[in-house]
Amino acid sequence: MAEELRLMSVHAHADDETITMGGLLASCADRGILTCNVCCTDGKLATIVAADMPEETTRPHLAEIRQQELRAACEILGVTEVHFLGYGDSGMWGEDTNQLPDGFWKADIDEAVGRLVTHIRRFQPQVVVTYDGVGGYGHPDHIQTHRVTMLAVEAAHQKALYPQAGEPWRVQKLYYTALPLSFLKKASEMAQAAGMDPPFGIENPEDLPFVTPDAWVTTTVDIRAGVPRKRAALVAHHSQIAPDWPMLAVPEEVTIEHFGTEAFQLVISRTPPSLPETDVFAGIEAPTALTV
């Protein structure tokens, strides 16, 4: 039954969950599927884009602000649980902040995996969603999130590993978030026809670092019913997402008509998948308790 199904999303920073899969999370809420969002860092080093949040007075409280924004966004999306792994932001790739002792990039992998295994075994998701190996666009915290999630998903069902973290649980499917090249090409063409700047300010979508080849996409989810909530959740991330952010810069009805999907890559499946999919829970009929 739907109420027995559970999905866990694991992201590096507050707002990543809404940008990459806010529609899926809203769709799960509509279906009675329980969801848990795990945020790995405090996001305290992010650029502050809100005009009404001065750097000098906002920066000292940014970690707390971003946590509040995440909780507000997840409430809009209908996320059941929100948790934080407790690591500091590492900043963009190549910055001196990558070496901060509390930063996620420098975290002890074994410790970080153990923290996430505890959440997996407690929440017992059939589906887990995170980033690909480059973390979408190369941010060190995104890459670390990928590493920790992959190891935790595989460790969670091994009773010999992290025995203090709870009873073993076997995740059935693991996905990467994806932004298909065809999606961005369509957005760029529509922006050009409307006399608007291209999404993310780059005319050739192939030059964007977070583009996913269409051939890699296995799963496309219809999120049209959740678009209004996804847009509202984006607005809730006030410190990070400006009104001219690509999805907010176009009318809601245009988003629903032309961009009402989210894409994913299925990378682990315990049962033979039937691809392409339109549902991340395809092939999953009921929770699977691990018997050992």
pLDDT digits (tens, 9 = 90+) for 9-46: 999 999 999 999 999 999 999 999 999 999 999 999 99
pLDDT at 78: 98
Task: Classify residue 236: in a domain, yes or no.
Answer: yes
Secondary structure element (H or E) that encloses residue 269, with its range:
strand 261-269
Residue 101: inside a domain: yes
Name the domain count of the chain: 1
Q: Give the range of the structural domain holding residue 23, as residue numbers without chain letter.
A: 2-181+216-268
Residue-wise pLDDT tens digits, 45-79: 999 999 999 999 999 999 999 999 999 999 999 99
The band of 287, judged by pLDDT with boundaries at 50, 70 and 90, is low
**Long-range contacts for 144-149 (Cβ within 8 Å, ≥24 apart)?**
144/12, 144/40, 144/90, 144/104, 144/105, 144/107, 144/112, 145/10, 145/11, 145/12, 145/40, 145/104, 147/109, 148/10, 148/40, 148/109, 148/112, 148/113, 148/116, 149/10, 149/116, 149/174
Residue at 205 is within a domain = no
| Per-residue pLDDT, 285 | 66
Please state the rounded mean pLDDT for residues 139-159. Answer: 98
Indicate the range of 31-40, 101-110, 131-140 predicted with least confidence. 131-140
Q: Look at 137 and 89; give whichever has higher pLDDT.
A: 89
The answer to whether position 283 is within a domain reads no
**Parallel, antiparallel or unpaired: strands 81-87 and 127-130:** unpaired
Tens of pLDDT along 173-212?
999 999 999 988 887 787 777 777 777 776 777 777 788 9
- Position with higher pLDDT, 184 vs 276: 276
Does a structural domain hold residue 12? yes
| pLDDT surpassing 60 at residue 2 | no
pLDDT class of 286 with cuts at 50, 70, 90: low
Percentage with pLDDT > 90 across the chain: 78
Higher-pLDDT residue of 286, 105: 105
pTM: 0.93
Is 196 part of any domain?
no
Inside any domain, residue 74? yes
Question: Within a domain: residue 238?
Answer: yes
| Encoded tokens for 1 | 């039954």
Give the CATH number for residue 77: 3.40.50.10320
pLDDT of residue 292: 36
